Each structure stands twice: as C-alpha cells, then as structure tokens.
Chain A
C-alpha cells in the first residue's frame, strides 16, 4: 500500500507542475494587457507599471520567476487591488471557505449516512422511499436554485434566519451550510444505501448475526465499515464539488470567501488572482483526492494488503 501511496504522490507533482504551467501560459494568451484601463495611461506610467509587475521581462523569465515564487508560497501581486498580494487574499478567503465547506460536509455526512443506512436496513418501506425521494430532489435542484429558495422561505417570508453574511449575525451560517451540504447529503444517502445493501447480503454479516451479535453491533461494527467505502471514495470528488459550489453559495449569501474572490477576479479580469487561485485550488483538490483514495484503500482490507 505504501508503494501505491508513494506512486500517487510522485505522480501528483508533475501533474501540478503541468497545471501551473498550462494555466500560466493560458493567462498570458488573454487579449489585452492588465493595465488597459478605461482612461489612457501615459507611456512612462505604463513602463513603470510593467517594470513593477515584472511584465517587461521575457515570457520565459516571467515563467521561471512565477514558478519560483509559487514554491515559496508567493503568487505575486493582484492586478486589481494594488498593494495586495494574491497570497494575502487566499489567506483571508481560505479560512472562511474552509469553515463553510466543513459545516456543509458535516451536514451532508450526518444526514446522508443516517438516511442511507436506515433506508438500506428498512428496504422497501416508507423509511426507504421517502428519504430516497428527497435525495432525488437534492440531486435535481441545483445549488443556485436551492440557496435563493431557502432565502426566500426562511429569510424573507418566515424571517427566521439572516439572508446574508458570515459570522456577523447569529445563525447566518445556517442557510449557506445547508444550501451547500444538501446536494451532497443526497448523493451520500444514495451511495451509502447502495453500499450497505451490497454488504448486508454477504456471508460475514450472516455469520455475525448467527453468532448472536445484536443488530446494532452487526450494522455499526461489521456492515458500515464495508458499506461506507463508496462514501469515503466519494469524499475527494465531493470536496472538489464543494469548492465549486462555494462560488455560488458565497455569491448568493455574500460571504467573503475564496470562491467569491475567484468569481470577482473572473469578472475583473484580475489575471494574477485567477492564475494563483486556479493553481491553489488544483493543488488542494489533488491533495484531497489523494487523501480520500487512501482512506478508502485503508478501509478495504483487500486493497490494504496489496
């Protein structure tokens, strides 16, 4: 297993390098310079600007400089917010996005696993049908519709919860976390139901029951360990999806996280910010995928010994 792990880590490095290089040159392809502002700038100012941002160097020099910077954790200055560096903006936005993602995944796991396992145990009863019908809704109602609908119902009509913000009013973290977590709760419910059904039919479960273990022990100690492997492997891609979802949720609820910064940067054509966050997101997602694959491998005895 260790060798598989090392192989994956070693593969991740050239992949990230390729992503970073590709993104760098793609951004360089973008039409227009970063300082093509509405009002014309005098040639001297433009020259100084280009010098300050190292844009007068050759592409190759810029590339080497940039890559060197990334290794030191320096993503260069923002083109739109003078005096702020991209690394600074990532550092401000990241904790917020992480917190949001953490609550969402917590909600998703809690609701998803509970209802999925219950549905599998009570197969073909209303405890199976109703959660699975709700899960279908969760999959078909996109985040960008779910969020506004929740705001409309709980924020505006019932006036129960704040409609926007993050950490300013009590309870303003509830709606964003539910919005982001709901779709994943739905996927996780379906995955854990499927995984549990597969395991519950196997011989070792029959053995566990035959030797007189309580149903609770059979389910929690024996069935869930195998039945939830699909959920664990799903967590890596889910985190990638959560990051994308955070673009929408942070925009809807006006949360000052990395996702909103990214969307703003896309609108402002803040190329360095886009470049930096793209590379950063990619690194994070590659990392989480690695982590969830490892966890799934460790949970599955067959691949653990391999």
Chain B
C-alpha cells in the first residue's frame, strides 16, 4: 500500500504545481458549491416570473438580467448548474461502471472472450450514437434518467479500451500471479489487486469524460430533445438565449460563458491530472 500512496502524493505534488490545472480545480470547486447551495444562495426561485419587467438587462436587482418572462438569469444559471453537473457526473459514472467492468473482464480473461468483447467495442465505436440517443428519447419520452443512462451507455467505449490495456499490462506481474497462486477469487482479484493499480488512468479519463458528457447533454437540450421545461440545464438556457439574442444578447452570453468556462476548467484539470499521474504520456 505504501507504494501506491507515494504515487498519489507525488501526483498531488505535481498537480499542485500546475497552475492551469489548479485554476480549473478552483473553478470547479466554486461551481460545485454554488450548484449544491443553489436553493439558498440564488437570489430568486428559478421559476419566479416578473412579467412586469420582462427581459431586462443586468442591474443591481438582477445581476445578470432577466429573461423574457422576467425570471432572474443568475438564479436560473445556478439551478441549471445542478442539472448540467448532475448529468456530467451521473452519466460519467454510468460510463465508468460499464467501461471498467468490461475492460477488466476482457483484459483479465483474455483469449477468445477478449477478442469478442473488444470486437464489439470496435463495432460500437463506428456507429452514430448521437442518433441512437435521439431515437431513444423520441421513443421512450424525454426522461432525465433515460438521458443519463443513454449518454453513459455511449461514453464507456474508450474507458473499456484503456482499462483493458492496463489490465493486460498488469496480469502477468508477479503480485497478480502470486495472488492467483494463493487462490484469491476473481472478485477480490479485481477489487483488491487490479482496480487499485489502474485507478490513475481511470481518474484521468473520467475527468476528461465529464466535459464530453456535458457537451452531449447541451447538444441534445439545445435541439429540444434533452432536458425538458420547467427544468433547465445550461443547454436549454443557451437554446432560450439564442431565440431572443437579437434583442437580449445577455441571455445568450452569460449562460454560454458559464458553460464554456466550466468546460475549460474540466479540460485543464483533466489534462493536469493526466500529466501528474503519468508524466510520460503528456500530449506533446
């Protein structure tokens, strides 16, 4: 156990020296706090309408202005953060569970099982998944949990490939062979011996999957096929902003800015984490 804790403390040290990554982490931290505390810190309810003022530019009462129905934009962005981040984390979690299980089994069992499992991944890679998500949303209705599951079910493929590669590298090492010789069951082999050793790449890839997932959700919500009113994510806010951007450009700009900054933060943090955990595989 001491070896792995050295790896992690090393990584944390390297990460803390990476300014872009720390900045990303800081922004994410603030965002998560804001999203969690939205009901208490939002100045208004996300559905509170003030039709008398309608769409008004940013002012002291409404820091980021109001939308066409007089709803406070700042509050709506804060509540939207809950949905957008929730989709990001839950769908990534779904992708993680499927991808890691698939990759560990394929890599550890090897042989025919491996080649069939990875061939399935190859085939799925080549299919237009966004179209299938849209198809599912049309057929089964636009349900939040279905959306989580559908997006997660799409994003697990790369995770499975990464995990499989790692497991193949590990499975012939002495400690795994020793554990096998001692009669460790498959389940505890996965949990106690393989998983802890591949946590690094998994953490990195998971961090980089979150922005992908959020983009996908934004994409679907923008088309009107994702999150449905009265719930709102950043994708739906951007969609609403586009509809009235000619007169009320702030309705597009502030949600768009929030979304972009979040994606930046996640990408910087993910890149930094990768560099920190595995200094060999920087992308330059």
Q: Would you call B127 and A19 a contact (CB within 8 A)?
A: yes
Query: Given that A145-B238, A149-B252, A190-B283 are known contacts, is A248 also in contact with B134, CB under 8 Å in the complex?
Result: no
Report, nearest first, the 8 A-B pairs whose CB atoms are least far apart. Answer: A144-B222, A140-B263, A244-B130, A30-B139, A148-B242, A289-B126, A145-B256, A285-B128
User: Which B residues are in CB contact (< 8 Å) with A143?
Assistant: 219
Q: Would you call A274 and B252 a contact (CB within 8 A)?
A: no
User: Could you tell me the distance in whole angstroms from the C-beta of A148 to the nearest C-beta in chain B?
Assistant: 4
User: Which B residues are in CB contact (< 8 Å) with A278?
Assistant: 128, 131-132, 135
A152 interface residue, CB < 8 Å from B?
yes
Residues on B lying within 8 angstroms of A by beta carbon are 123, 125-128, 130-132, 134-139, 211, 215, 218-219, 222-225, 235, 238-239, 241-242, 245-246, 249, 252, 256, 259-260, 263-264, 267, 283-284
Q: Would you call A144 and B126 a contact (CB within 8 A)?
A: no
Q: Which of B215, B222, B224 meets A267, CB within 8 Å?
A: B224
Query: Given that A136-B267, A145-B256, A248-B222 are known contacts, is A152 also in contact with B249, CB under 8 Å in the complex?
Result: yes
User: Which A residues are in CB contact (< 8 Å) with B132?
Assistant: 278
Q: Which of B125, B219, B241, B249 meets A244, CB within 8 Å?
A: B219
Known: A15-B123, A269-B138, A274-B138. 11 other contacts (CB 8 A): A136-B267, A140-B267, A143-B219, A144-B235, A145-B260, A149-B256, A194-B283, A237-B125, A244-B128, A266-B134, A266-B137
User: Could you tell me the distance in whole angstroms from the C-beta of B19 to the nearest C-beta in chain A?
Assistant: 14
- Kindly count the residue-residue contacts between A and B in the assembled complex, taking CB atoms under 8 Å apart: 115
A to B CB contacts below 8 Å, 18 in the list? A23-B135, A26-B135, A30-B139, A136-B267, A143-B219, A144-B219, A144-B222, A145-B238, A148-B242, A152-B252, A236-B126, A244-B130, A251-B223, A266-B137, A266-B138, A278-B135, A281-B131, A282-B127
User: Which secondary structure dominates chain A's binding surface?
Assistant: helix
Residues on A lying within 8 angstroms of B by beta carbon are 11, 15, 19, 23, 26-27, 29-31, 123, 136, 139-145, 148-149, 151-152, 156, 190, 193-194, 197, 236-237, 240, 243-244, 247-248, 251-252, 262-263, 266-267, 269, 274, 277-278, 281-282, 285-286, 289
User: Could you tell me the distance in whole angstroms from the C-beta of B175 to the nearest C-beta in chain A?
Assistant: 33
Query: Given that A145-B259, A243-B128 are known contacts, is A140 also in contact with B264, CB under 8 Å in the complex?
Result: yes
Q: Would you call A248 and B224 a contact (CB within 8 A)?
A: no
Q: Would you call A197 and B284 a contact (CB within 8 A)?
A: yes
Of B127, B224, B283, which is in contact with the most chain A CB atoms at under 10 Å from its CB? B127
User: Which A residues are in CB contact (< 8 Å) with B126?
Assistant: 15, 236, 240, 285-286, 289
In the assembled complex, the Cα of A194 lies from the Cα of B284 at a distance in Å of 5
User: Could you tell me the distance in whole angstroms from the C-beta of B151 to the nearest C-beta in chain A?
Assistant: 13
Q: Would you call A142 and B215 a contact (CB within 8 A)?
A: yes
